[in-house]
Structures are given as structure tokens and as C-alpha cells.
Amino acid sequence: MSSVTVGALPDMVTFTPDGKTVLIANEGEPNDAYTIDPEGSVSVIDVHNINVPLARTASFVRYNGQEADLRAAGIRIFGPNASAAQDFEPEYITTDENGRIAYVTLQENNAIAIVDVASAWVQQVVPLGYKDHRVVPLDVSDRDGPGNGPAINIRTWPVPLFGMYQPDGIASYTAAGRTYLVTANEGTRGHGPALPRMSA
């Protein structure tokens, strides 16, 4: 019936609850050599008239040049010479019950972007912090069993050991007037240089 151009490497598509707006997570993943690294973004498409859809882009460009401050706040930016907009890779999207605010997981960055749907504007990028595995149990290896094979060894650790949440899928619900987010925290290493996992 119609088509629109969106950002680089669209990943996930969802509608606002009223069905009038389509949101697309444009992941913008780099190639393995980081010779191509497109910007991540969120497409906001008005489909009131499905024959003439209107696409706008919620971009992360305004965060370029703020990479040091973002890292200091706990947001993982790691691509070689990548700007914030290149490094942010939207994965999944959910909205509040009114479809006014979208919440976008940035898995590799261990963060969530908050997007105003009406203006297609990224309001904020929120770091998710770290799990303290002195408190939260973790199995740190799949080679600590007999003959370097797997063993189940889920426990807390006596040294400072922290893990990122790295949310992938996301959903939301409202209770007592507040919006809550539920995320599937993949905890993957992602691509690019890994952060140190242990400190003394």
C-alpha cells in the first residue's frame, strides 16, 4: 500500500496502543571491522493515512561530543572512534499506556533511551548501572568442571565483581498510575572491546 525510508538496519517494529503510530528500532550495527558504523535511531511513523505515512527520526546526534560524560554516567560507549550516535544501537521498544513516551533498550550500551513520540525526540538516555555479584549470584564460567567442562556453580563472589544488565526485549505496564518497565537482561558481552569484569 505504501512505504517509507527508515534508519539503518531496522530491527524491531511496534505500534502505539492507539494504532496510529509505528515505532521502529534502527539498530545501526557496525560491520565486524568497524569500517562501516551507521548511526542508531528510532523511526516514528504516523500511519493515520496508511497511503501517505509520515516518517520522522528520533536521532542520537545531539549526544555526539558528550561521550566522556556519558561513559562517566555509566553508559557503555566502546566502538573504535564511534560517536555516541553511532554506538547507540536500539533493540526493542515499548510505550506507556497512552503511547506518548517510548522506552527503547540500548543493549550494548547498558542503557534505555526515553523518546517523546509526538516530537520524535530523544529526551534522555538512562544508564542501568551494574549488578554486584557479591550479592547477586552468578556462574562465572562454563569451563570449571571436570576436564575443563561445564559445571553448575551459581554463587555470590567475595571480590568486587560487577555485571551489566544489557536489556534486550522490553515491555511495560501501569499500576497505581505509574509506568513500570520489564526487561530481558541478556547480559551478553556484545561486540567490541569488553569491559573489565573484575576489580581488586
Is position 192 within any domain?
no
**Terminal-residue alpha carbon distance, the chain:** 59
Looking up residue 22, the CATH number of its domain turns out to be 2.130.10.10
Closest CA to 104 of 169, 158, 48: 169
Amino acid letter, residue 182: V
Q: Evaluate whether residue 151 is within a structural domain.
A: no
Q: Which domain holds residue 45?
A: 10-129+165-185
pLDDT in tens, 26-46: 999 999 888 999 999 999 999
Residue 193: is its pLDDT beyond 80? no
Please indicate, yes or no, if residue 145 is contained in any of the structural domains: no
Q: Is residue 14 a part of any domain in this protein?
A: yes
CA torsion, ordered 136, 180, 118, 66, to nearest 10 deg: -20
> Is 139 inside a domain boundary?
no
Grouping H, G, I as helix, E, B as strand and the rest as coil, residue 110 is coil
Alpha carbon dihedral 144, 146, 148, 151, in 10-degree steps, equals -40
In this structure, is residue 124 part of a structural domain?
A: yes
Number of domains observed in the structure of the chain: 1
Interval 46-69: pLDDT, tens: 999 999 999 999 999 999 999 999
For the whole model, what pTM was predicted?
Answer: 0.87
Residue 197 covered by a domain: no
Which 8-state DSSP code applies to residue 42?
Answer: E
The answer to whether residue 199 sits within a structural domain is no
Phi (first) and psi of residue 124, to 5 degrees:
-165, 150
Answer whether residue 188 shows pLDDT above 80: no
Cell representation of residue 152: 553448575
Cα radius of gyration rounded to whole Å, the chain: 19
Helix (H, G, I), strand (E, B) or coil at 152: coil
Three-state DSSP class for 132? strand
Q: Look up residue 46 and give its three cell numbers.
A: 504516523
Judged against a pLDDT cut of 70, whether residue 120 lies above it is answered with: yes
